[in-house]
Amino acid sequence: MTIKVYMTNIAGNQLTIGNQRKVKHILDANKIDYVDIDISDPKNVAEKEFLQRTLSPINKTLHLPQIFNNEEYCCDFDDMTTLKFVPYSSAFDTGFWHELTRRKLEIYRLDSSNQSIFGYYANDANDNMPALFNVDHQCFDENNKISNQQQLYSVNGTLKLVNTIEEFKTFDIDSALKTESSLLWNDFVQGGTLENPQKLNRFYLLIFADLKKYIYHYWFAFPTFLVPTAFNLLSPVKSIGEQFPSDEIGAITKTLEANRLHACCLHRQQNSSFAVINLKQAVDNLNEKPQSASEYIFIVNDPSTDPAHPGWPVRNLLTLLYYHLRSVEQLNVICWRERFRDGQQYVNHSLYLQLKPESISNIDDTVPPSAGWEKNERQRLGSRQVNLSTSMNPVHLAETAVGLNLKLMKWRLAPEIDLESLETMRCLLLGAGTLGCNVARCLMAWGVKHITFVDNSRISYSNPVRQTLFTFQDSCENRPKAQAAADALKAIYPGIKSIGYDLTIPMPGHAVGESTIEKVKEDVNFLHDLIRQHDVLFLLTDSRESRWLPTVIGAAEQKLVLCCAVGFDSYVIIRHGVPAKESDTPPTRYKNFLRGDKLGCYFCNDIVAPGDSSIDRTLDQQCTVTRPGISMMASALSVELLVSIMQHPLR
């Protein structure tokens, strides 16, 4: 039989040249004899009039040979006959990147194995919005998974966080998609998705994080299956406002509000009400009584806002139903969408689909081909990137970056190092000169966030080249060293808590006049309070006697005291002993170790009390004359000693 073929779409418009070629290719492939009727040709006026009269009853789609059973045939390549779908468009909450950075540095480190995470989509977007799929800072913790409330629906997924950009670029995306698709397909085939519709969707997220530049490369995949059939519509896509009367829409809305599921089925009751049943029960009922298909309406929450095309969850639901349904002639689906305005709920824009299912249950157990990698900004398959360095709060950016090198130590070199104890430690530096500046810089580098300076001198022109926290401008202004040092630390890192006190430490051998007795008492009490408020005391002053009172107070308060002093080409670093408490009994394995109360202090070898060491001294004896590098070596080792002490379990 030879048939007439009118190259038009359902609207009666001539098909494009490309679509005409598709039609002819399908006809030739199926060995169908045809006559091509060009209705745009003026000679075919009669044919055009015939087509206008008979377009609706004879309009069909080209998928199977047996549909060519009429003498005339209108070829329809319009989107209204084959259902198309809107893919997800990924979106990140900024908090996701902060949490990812923290986990990479502190938890995952070099571990690039798959991690379980979750994301979510909503069905309440405004018109012309993409079908957003969101991940945020809570997506790493299963305990934070949202319930299906407030139009949010969670989706399980896999995070692959690689260690190098080369690994990201050469990653086997086909294998990853196949693995993720197999998880999805196994749930489809074994019925797990019918019982738990949350399994309708999965996602895969590939990321490389450049934590020095805060540039994140990522690529999303949302697996779906390329099944050997099209999703053919029995009628054009409608809104439920066009399909159902308002009382039925109200009944459907009320029923679904009490049963917020990713997908379910409504069974129409005799009194025009609806009962919710799960997907498995609906499939079993339809396979048992296929003729009752009109009584069942499948519901799926739809993230798309397109008036004619549903989103990815609908595609996966149809694949699931096509696999499990055997001889159903009609499938009714509502793509449920909600919108709220001025406190009112609107659902009439939800889509209503009527489809002719074609069973794919004959597919063997192997996973069918899949697709789902997201396109980039150029609408090509490829990764995307986000640069947070320009949008993040600079202070917060610095706070995260300060600990980067320290946390990298834990990846390979020192996995057990305790950085938290250093970060929370409060350090008091007595002396803000050469040693004080260098010790403070080392403490900052180790992540110490609380540093207090005490000094009574001012910055002179000879100081800035040796005392690394000061500048020429400071010496011009003759600023107090303690306050200038604290300000310099804040300028280096705004997140540090640093303060400077202009305080004279009372010293033995230095006379106290009647007029200054009260002031000296106040200074002693203030110094005592400062030492009591801090965890570690550094003695960094430039005379021996200025270290005596802090040593006594530190011992009385059982504080950790570190003393550092330099000579011309030598230095000494001492950790002072701490008086033992009566309750202190070290574990057996430490009994052969030297106890802290057996350690001496800076003055233990003295046979006389300290005196005034600056009296009757020439200039080279009054100033600290030392090789410039000695102070840096001594300061660094003092801080390294502190760090070592803080790693000990009995610290």
Query: What whole-number distance in Å separates Cα of residue 466 and Cα of residue 218?
Result: 47
- Among residues 475, 401, 476, 488, the alpha carbon closest in space to that of 436 is found at 488
Provide the 3-class DSSP secondary structure of residue 116: strand
Rg of the Cα trace of the chain? 39
Q: Is the dihedral of CA 6, 9, 13, 16 positive or negative?
A: negative
Q: Is the dihedral of CA 260, 199, 90, 337 positive or negative?
A: negative
- Among residues 333, 335, 87, the alpha carbon closest in space to that of 234 is found at 333
Q: Where are the beta strands (DSSP E) in 9-128?
A: 33-37, 59-60, 72-75, 89-92, 115-122
Give the count of alpha carbons within 13 A of 595, CB side only. Answer: 12
User: Are 297 and 256 in contact, with CB atoms under 8 Å apart?
Assistant: no
* Structure letter (DSSP) for residue 198: G
Provide the 3-class DSSP secondary structure of residue 552: helix
Provide the 3-class DSSP secondary structure of residue 195: helix
Name, in order, each residue with C-beta under 8 angstroms of 222's C-beta and a sequence gap of 6 or more. Answer: 87, 88, 133, 201, 202, 203, 312, 372, 374
User: Are 142 and 117 in contact, with CB atoms under 8 Å apart?
Assistant: no
Which stretches within 411-467 are classed as H helix?
420-423, 434-445
Q: Is 139 a catalytic residue?
A: no
Set 265, 563, 564, 623: catalytic member: 623
Provide the 3-class DSSP secondary structure of residue 453: strand
Positions marked active-site: 623
